[in-house]
Structure 1
Amino acid sequence: MADPELEQIRARRMAEMQQQMGLPQGVESGDGYPGAYQQGGGEQKAEQQARQEELKNTILAGILDQSARSRLNNLKLVKPDKAAMVENMLIQMAQSGQVQGKIGEDHLKTILERVSEQTKPVGKVKFQRRKVFDDDSDDDY
């Protein structure tokens, strides 16, 4: 990372990816409509997803410290949907300028708690079992 040339390449690549992420899905720059590339669409789509994943990882590596990053990776193994929500939230926070410095594990825990509160089930199903009115004292004949 000490090499300024490498930093310039990374900055250029990040700007390029951010520009591409701003476009709607399936539209390349200069295309007039979403179905503009039918041939080889699978390869381009996979390449675009790989670029977006790389950009996401770069942004997250820049805003999370090592312990927070490992916690997020562990969460991704157990609950991928929740981890994706947290990653998107962190990226939005970084892009809007709400993140100053690196986010530590404690701050990430509070973010995870907020996400957990938002994703709690609305209502719980409660089972009420019927009580059988079978009293043994009635069997006295």
Structure 2
Amino acid sequence: MGEDELAEIRRRKIAEMQQHAAIQQQEIDRQQQQDAQMQMALMQILEPEARERLNTIKLTRQDFARAVEQQLVMLAQNGRIQNKITDEQLKVILQQVTPAKREFNIRRRG
């Protein structure tokens, strides 16, 4: 391989890496914009105490909290939420959405 060929390969590789980085940045920007829109919608449909509770849940169960947020925004967009959701109402919603825990009983034969 000549030096010209190596320079061309390097140039292509750099261009490819720059394109990949630009695509990643676009994805990050899109995700941040979606998050900002969701937070604005949640501010409109949740009272401060309920929003605080949801943020606390997000610290420990991020996927679950994200699913609840999406569900609340979807309900609001469909017009199924008329007033702001209080903390007590959010507790009821969370209890309904939380999957039932399975109990295991271990018995020893004696």
TM-score higher than 0.5 here?
yes
Q: Percent identity?
A: 34
Query: What is the TM-score of this pair, normalised by structure 1?
Result: 0.58
For 2:61, the aligned partner's letter is K
**Alpha-carbon deviation of 1:86?**
1.2
Match in the other structure for 1:129: 108
How many pairs are equivalent? 92
Q: Which has the higher helix share?
A: 2
Aligned alpha-carbon RMSD (Å): 1.8
Structure 1 residue 62 corresponds to structure 2 residue 44: yes
In structure 2, distance between residues paired with 1:47 and 1:61? 21
**Alpha-carbon deviation of 1:79?**
1.7
For 2:108, the aligned partner's letter is R
Stretches of 4+ aligned residues off by more than 2 angstroms: 123-131
> Which runs of structure 2 are paired with 1:1-141 in the superposition (5 Å)?
40-116=22-98, 119-121=99-101, 123-131=102-110
Structure 2 unmatched runs, 5+: 1-18
Structure 1 unmatched runs, 5+: 1-36, 132-141
Query: What is the TM-score of this pair, normalised by structure 2?
Result: 0.73
